Amino acid sequence: MDQERAPALNIQPLRRRKFTPAETRVVDAGDSRAAPVEPASSEGEAQEAVSSSLHVRRRIRQLQAQGSPETPAHSSLHVRRRIRQLQAKVAPSSAGEKITPRLHPALQDIEMQETGLLIRPLEPPGRPEKDGGSAVEDAQHRPAAPLQATGNGSKSPAARETSLEAARRHVVLYRQANFYVSAVCRAGQTVAPLRKPSGHTARMPQVMPRQRERVAASETRRMPQVEVRETARTLTLPVPLWLEIAVVLLLLAGSVVLHAYNLFAYPAYTADEGTYMQNAWAVTLGRLTPYPYGYGHPPAGWMQIALWLKLAGIFSFGEALNGGRVLMLVYAAASTLLVYLIVRRLGGSQSAALVGMAVFAFSPLGVLFQREVLLDNIATFWLLLSLALIVSSRSRLPYLIGAALALGLAVLSKEVIAVCLPAMVYAAWLHITPFQRKFALVAFLYITLALISTFVLMALLKGEFFPYAWHLPWDNHPHLSLLDTYIGQVQRSQSQGSLLGSWYVWFQDDAPLLIAGVAAPAFNLLYGWWRRQHLLAGLLAASYWALLARGGVVYPFYLIPLLPLMALNVALALHALLGGLSWLIHLKPARAVLLLLLLSLLLPYDAIGAARQASANPVSAQQQALSWIGSHVPRKAYIVISPYLYLDLRLPGGEGVGSGSPFPNAEVYWEVATDPAVRDRILHDDWNTIDYLVVDDQMLKDIMNNAGQFGLLQQALEHSKLLVSFRTQDRLHQTTLWIYQVQHDETPLV
């Protein structure tokens, strides 16, 4: 390998050397401008030192007045030379005096190069000389050597050669007014490969940008006295990201399998499922409902189902309600994943998030209700999505906008989610930095309320916001009313469904979750005074518990939005309690071990209970009733049915239609009793117009308990004869369907 000469750095401060007129400077032969200064022959009066350019010019004029008629030069360098020459002639005795005018640092460097104090490399041979250049340019390109004065004020040829050779070996790398950095080339010194120049070297800045302003504006504080304490080390078990993802996906897959098992056979079809499915089908035709819209719920929920029906088809999975249950499976899987993410973001560990995920996904109550086509499942997904975006926002505005939109969709899917609005506002306040809090909260509230207000705006534009009973000037005909509908819902008594009766159903299916779902929010509300994330979880669950305990009607499926909130509270409460235990024993993995042990006990219990519950087949009775109707009932007959039979009888390809024509006169019993368009225009308010009644438990209960409102159906049922019944039995419930034929005069029985 070729050896190269490496420059050795030599950093020295520049010191001004006293330059006397008696000395003769050694210059190169090519420097025709610099001439040796002759020593003065006579002594004169000592002159004072000049400290500014103004004083220099004044001194020149004084010397010229004493006998020197020359004009002062314009270059500061020439001014200095002329001062020395005039001083040598006028005052030769002041040879040791130094005149140092104050000049720009660049001119000072040039002057030091002229005097030989600053070493510069010699020009390469063959470089053409610049004619007519300024004194500054000539001084920059002129090589200089250090002064080596002889005894008589001149340099010997040997000393001059030594100075020139030293100048060839020196390279000035960097210089300022008070120091310079020079490099010396030594023969025989090798350069390591890592030290070879790359050719892309850039000069580093002296200080960082605006560093002085930041240092000046910063507050100087005294550092606290820190004492070193010997504490016991806690053992930690780091979990790699790939392992965490694998475990989450494994639990998610298990949840999907459990929810998909026997999906089309358990539980039995309900009237609410049929109502939402028939409304979704009407949306595909450009209407909100097949019957006049009564403002019972906002339409955004079944609009999402309608989009799914457009994509997947109505009868792609058998009965019409099966397609809706597949969509509920998607919402349940997404909600399960959101529960895990929310627990992780609220400060829980991986093990606590897994526990919360398992509590929500494998609960028998979740397997029962989350597979039904209910608006509560849709609204729960959007609520969890909004909460996940808030806790993951880190005060970023796009996340908060998405959370506001998701919360608005949750309320428009099921209006009861509005009770969580104050807690969600607190969640947004908690996860926004103070300097952004005012603007972000205003934006969050404005977007949420603006989206929710579209439901009210629709009623106002249709003239159906105020009740017709108020007889306002612009009300010219009877109509449904948004206010009237919700006033009626609020006034419903617990005879239709009570909290105590629903609690009995919940306790039979999953008693541990129900007990923990009450205790965990209470603990988090207390612990939340020290940990605000726990307070948020407790407020969300307490808000919905307050809705259920208000004293109105409570159906068992009203628990659906509370299931993930209870899972969140249980996971966070266990994380805090077991974390305190691990702190006491100085063993941090103890919390994770105990949580995983609890998870291993919880999964078999919930999975066995859910599998036993889902092994029943109550839908078989309803399927048999559809098949019997398709085979024995005339196509033109007026049939009063439950909503879950509507699409399978009214649409071609339905389970009750088969390959034949549909039943155009099949009507839902609730609309027959309450809708004047059906009761008066189609049936003419005459029970004798009805041909068949397909009655289930809920329909029979409504007819018997509301004789005034369902008087027409009660008369038809009294004049009918039972043709056939279908019955199935599961663990707790019995599903029964009766098919009656109304007895008309001279009408033969089937």
- Across 176-260, the runs of DSSP E, i.e. the strands, are 179-185
- Bridge partners, residue 742, by sequence: 720
Scan for tokens 């796009």, then name that residue: 398
- Across 176-257, the runs of DSSP E, i.e. the strands, are 179-185
- pLDDT for the residue numbered 641: 93
Over 90: is that where the pLDDT of 402 sits?
yes
Task: Give the up-direction half-sphere exposure of residue 326: CA atoms within 13 A in the CB hemisphere.
Answer: 15
* One-letter identity of residue 630: G
Q: Which H or E run contains 8?
A: strand 7-13
Of the segments 153-157, 498-502, 611-615, 667-671, which one has the largest average pLDDT value?
Answer: 667-671
CA R_g for the chain: 48
- pLDDT for the residue numbered 165: 58
- Bridge partners, residue 10, by sequence: 182
d(CA 320, CA 645): 9
Phi, psi of 43, deg, nearest 5: -90, 145
| pTM of the predicted model over 0.75 | no
- Bridge partners, residue 160, by sequence: none
Mean pLDDT value across residues 312-325: 91
Question: 144 with 167: CB under 8 angstroms?
Answer: yes
Per-residue tokens: 335: 């909600």
Q: How confident is the model at residue 440 (pLDDT cuts 50, 70, 90)?
A: very high
Span 168-205, pLDDT tens digits = 566 677 777 777 777 766 656 555 555 555 666 666 66
Q: How confident is the model at residue 589 (pLDDT cuts 50, 70, 90)?
A: low
More confident residue, 105 or 336: 336
According to DSSP H, which parts of 91-193 are helical?
105-115, 135-141, 157-169
Over 90: is that where the pLDDT of 559 sits?
yes
Q: How confident is the model at residue 2 (pLDDT cuts 50, 70, 90)?
A: very low
According to DSSP H, which parts of 66-169 are helical?
76-90, 105-115, 135-141, 157-169
Over 70: is that where the pLDDT of 227 sits?
no
Pairing of strands 692-696, 734-742: antiparallel
- Chain centre to alpha carbon of residue 731: 44
- The long-range contacts involving 458-465, CB below 8 angstroms and separated by at least 24 positions, are 459/295, 464/295
Q: What is the 3-state secondary structure (H, E, C) of 678-738?
A: HHHHHCCCCHHHCCEEEEEHHHHHHHHHCCCCCHHHHHHHHCEEEEEEEEEECCCCEEEEE
- pLDDT for the residue numbered 50: 40
More confident residue, 316 or 136: 316
Per-residue tokens: 192: 């390591």
d(CA 541, CA 356): 14
Question: 578 with 594: CB under 8 angstroms?
Answer: yes
d(CA 322, CA 266): 11
- pLDDT for the residue numbered 732: 64
Please choose, from the candidates 40, 39, 43, 74, the residue with its C-alpha nearest in 3D space to the C-alpha of residue 60: 74
- pLDDT for the residue numbered 247: 87
Over 80: is that where the pLDDT of 59 sits?
no
d(CA 135, CA 75): 7
Size of the chain in residues: 750
- Bridge partners, residue 11, by sequence: 181
Span 115-145, pLDDT tens digits = 454 444 444 444 444 444 444 344 444 444 4
Question: 273 with 642: CB under 8 angstroms?
Answer: no
d(CA 440, CA 434): 10
Looking at residue 677, the DSSP 8-state letter turns out to be I
3-state secondary structure of 120: strand
List b or e across 176-214, with b for residues whose CB sees 16 or more CB atoms inside 10 angstroms. Answer: eeeebebbbeeeeeeeeeeeeeeeeeeeeeeeeeeeeee
Mean pLDDT value across residues 353-368: 89
3-state secondary structure of 264: coil
Per-residue tokens: 436: 């952004």
How do the domains of the chain map onto residue ranges?
7-190, 241-614, 619-742
Over 60: is that where the pLDDT of 513 sits?
yes
d(CA 105, CA 93): 30
Over 90: is that where the pLDDT of 383 sits?
yes
Question: 599 with 358: CB under 8 angstroms?
Answer: yes
Per-residue tokens: 294: 């009564």
- Chain centre to alpha carbon of residue 78: 70
Phi, psi of 695, deg, nearest 5: -110, 135
Q: CB 299: neighbour CB atoms within 10 A?
A: 21
Looking at residue 247, the DSSP 8-state letter turns out to be H
Span 243-288, pLDDT tens digits = 888 989 998 998 999 889 888 988 889 999 999 999 999 999 999 9
Helices and strands, number each (H, E), in the chain: 28, 8
C-alpha to C-alpha distances, 436 to 391, 397, 446, 483, nearest whole angstrom: 15, 9, 16, 37
3-state secondary structure of 175: strand
Q: How confident is the model at residue 454 (pLDDT cuts 50, 70, 90)?
A: very high
* One-letter identity of residue 736: T
C-alpha to C-alpha distances, 364 to 367, 548, 698, nearest whole angstrom: 5, 20, 23
